[in-house]
Structure 1
């Protein structure tokens, strides 16, 4: 297992699909904050589940011209695994101009199957489902600085390290509870939900009667 660090784009051939069209990709982002149009995209983390994680960092003056990364994220034949896909999809679409779908979101899968708890954070899921522990200490650190330290890189890599294994577990649980179709409908809607966030409807439920 290794963590690879890249500036501005993936190298040629990294995470390119194989003869089977390519496996699912775990994806995450780090930004300067939680308001997508204001808080720039600093880092994209991505892994095909084979044991390596790739971190792509963007500088403050980046034009986000990352053709290799965009090709991988925009590949319609490869499922993208996220934890809280709504936020990552918005950041990727706003800054990279790519709809990084089709989608599987472990947070939504958790809320649809782990109805016995309100603890749906990545740390909680990794501990319960996989029996491992991750640190979230660097979650609120400065991702736009000139250097990302080892702790930040490890934190970023851990955000995509466990998603493939969790997807397998959640697929089984969704089927067990008869909620696979419902979950898929939610996943399919997420790119639109992200666009609503970008367009200014982040906090208003347009489906409500109000």
Structure 2
């Protein structure tokens, strides 16, 4: 069961609790999450956004069982189609700040998300002339696209999400393919693509360390 929302330059499909069976989003899927806050130990997962880069976004609203969502199995949200896509070794998952997303998806869905790429990590490796590595700044400077962050701190746990919330959520994945193409070119130009790939392979482990409480102290610091 889902609904479709048409906004300028994009189509947004809202699904309740899981992706529809049989949906394919291609070999590289852009993914983002919305949560009740930024503490994965405390704040629940509310929305998972996905896009194949074709101008459409699929938003999966993750509802708790007492609000009509599926019961948990083994402590994890029972959404088999979404979990299968996230765990598929043949599908590259493209994020911006993958460290948080892979951690919350592992905690809530019980899945190790791999392989992954992260546009924030890529930007920090090659755009060393600036500290502006946010998605909004990267889209503006590399793509000439303006995205709004107005709904960033809205209530993502609401039973009914507004069209403004969904448009904001979709914007976080609709441009990641084009952004990665630009950043991949910079990584290869500067001879840092292999280094980036090694960082990406480590990101699921970095997320697991965060869930164990090793964000601070950082075990890699002196």
Question: Which range, TM-score by smaller chain?
Answer: over 0.9
Give the TM-score normalised by the residue count of structure 2. 0.89
1:45 counterpart SS class: strand
Distance 1:204 1:160 in 2: 31
List 4+ stretches of structure 1 deviating above 3 A: none
Query: Does the 8 Å contact 1:60/1:144 carry over to 2?
Result: no
Distance 2:34 2:212 in 1: 20
Higher strand share: 2
Select which of 6, 17, 42 maps to 1:8. Answer: 17
Give the TM-score normalised by the residue count of structure 1. 0.94
1:49 matched residue in structure 2? 53
Q: How many residues align?
A: 204
Q: 1:60: how far off? A: 2.8
The question of 1:163 aligning with 2:167 is answered no
1:107 matched residue in structure 2? 120
- List aligned pairs for 1:53-64, cutoff 5 A: 53-61=57-65, 62=69, 63=72, 64=77
- List aligned pairs for 1:35-114, cutoff 5 A: 35-61=39-65, 62=69, 63=72, 64-114=77-127
Q: Which runs of 5+ in 2 are unaligned?
A: 1-9
1:154 matched residue in structure 2? 167
1:26 matched residue in structure 2? 30
1:19 matched residue in structure 2? none
Q: 1:15: how far off? A: 2.1
1:145-198 Cα offsets, whole Å, 9 max, x none, are 111101100000000000001111111100111111111111010000000000
2:5 matched residue in structure 1? none
The Cα RMSD (Å) is 1.0
Distance 1:87 1:208 in 2: 20
